Amino acid sequence: MGTVKDIMTSTVTTIPADASPRDAAWSLTLKGLSGAPVQDEHGNVVGVLSKSDLTDPRKFHVEPRCPPVASDLMTPVLFAARETDSVRFAVRRMVETGSHRLIVVGDDGALVGIVTPMDVLRGLLDRKIDVQDFA
């Protein structure tokens, strides 16, 4: 049975919590990403910032900081999986939550990867997983 570790991307682009919206947008655009985890100054993942967060005008009316930083605009809810979780678990979690990315954490809770729908498709194409992993 395929696991999250089989399909995850282990090199994860992160956005600093204090990054400006412009810097965050450039980082995502230059790397061809639609979103990335946001890390605080201690390296803890505190949310996810997506391009849709960066274009939502409602998020730009925040207090007390003006202009806002990444942590003001991010979605603070994290959907996570462990490396040892099944692919089925990860896919089901993305479908049930409507999330386009799952943060992958190690036993110590530290960021070790990310899984997106593209990772699942790549895993199928590269035969790291097969349809039996969804049964």
Which of 87-91, 106-110, 131-135 comes out lowest in average pLDDT? 131-135
- Regarding beta strands 35-39 and 45-50, do their DSSP bridges make them parallel or antiparallel, or are they unpaired? antiparallel
- pLDDT confidence of residue 12: 95
CATH number at residue 14: 3.10.580.10
Q: Give CA–CA dist 63/77, Å, rounded.
A: 20
User: Which segments within the chain are labelled E, that is strand?
Assistant: 15-16, 35-39, 45-50, 80-82, 102-105, 111-115
For residue 64, count CB atoms less than 10 angstroms from its CB and return exposed for 0-12, middle for 13-18, buried for 19 or more.
exposed
- How is residue 115 written in tokens? 């899984």
For residue 105, count CB atoms less than 10 angstroms from its CB and return exposed for 0-12, middle for 13-18, buried for 19 or more.
middle
- pLDDT confidence of residue 63: 58
Which tens digit of pLDDT belongs to each residue from 110-131? 899 999 999 999 999 998 988 8
Which tens digit of pLDDT belongs to each residue from 23-68? 999 999 999 999 999 999 999 999 999 999 998 877 766 555 667 8
Please count the structural domains in the chain: 1
Q: State which residues form the domain around 57.
A: 4-134
Residue with the larger pLDDT of the pair 77 and 70? 70
CB 19 within 8 A of CB 70: yes
Q: Which residues pair with 75 in a beta bridge?
A: 48
